[in-house]
Amino acid sequence: MVLLLSGLWFLHVVALLAAVAPVIHAYKYFDEPRGKGLHHYDARYFRGQVSAAKRAETLSELIVAFLDIMESEGIVAWLAHGTLMGWYWNGHPLPWYVFFWTRECANCDLQGLGR
């Protein structure tokens, strides 16, 4: 019986993936430029690679601006994961965490922001 249920579950998952796969790849907001290490750039605005130092500086400024805006709007937000660790240790993102930063907001505040 368990084998039968797991087999049916597997078939349901395969059918769901087959139905969703075309939708997932149907629309992509932007394309990356071609080349090694360019997967975090938007081809529409790409004018050349940004140095690691400039990227880290811009990311730090973005984090400060984000937190300032959230505070001014009365939205509870906080840094999370590697971004929080880097900010705790030296006030900057971790060196290997340069392409993204993680932050979280309370669900009720996000709903209020959406209204």
Closest CA to 49 of 37, 34, 61, 31: 37
* 3-class SS letters over 25-63: CCCCCCCCCCCCCCCCCCCCCCCCCCCHHHHHHHHHHHH
- Domain map (residue ranges) of the chain: 2-114
pLDDT on residue 79 = 79
User: Consecutive sets of 10 residues in the chain, 115 residues long: mean pLDDT of each?
Assistant: 59 74 65 75 84 81 86 84 79 67 73 74
Give the C-alpha separation, 30 to 44, whole Å: 8
Q: Which two tokens stand for residue 85?
A: 């660790």
pLDDT on residue 7 = 64
Q: What are phi and psi of 86, to 5 degrees?
A: -65, -40
pLDDT on residue 1 = 47
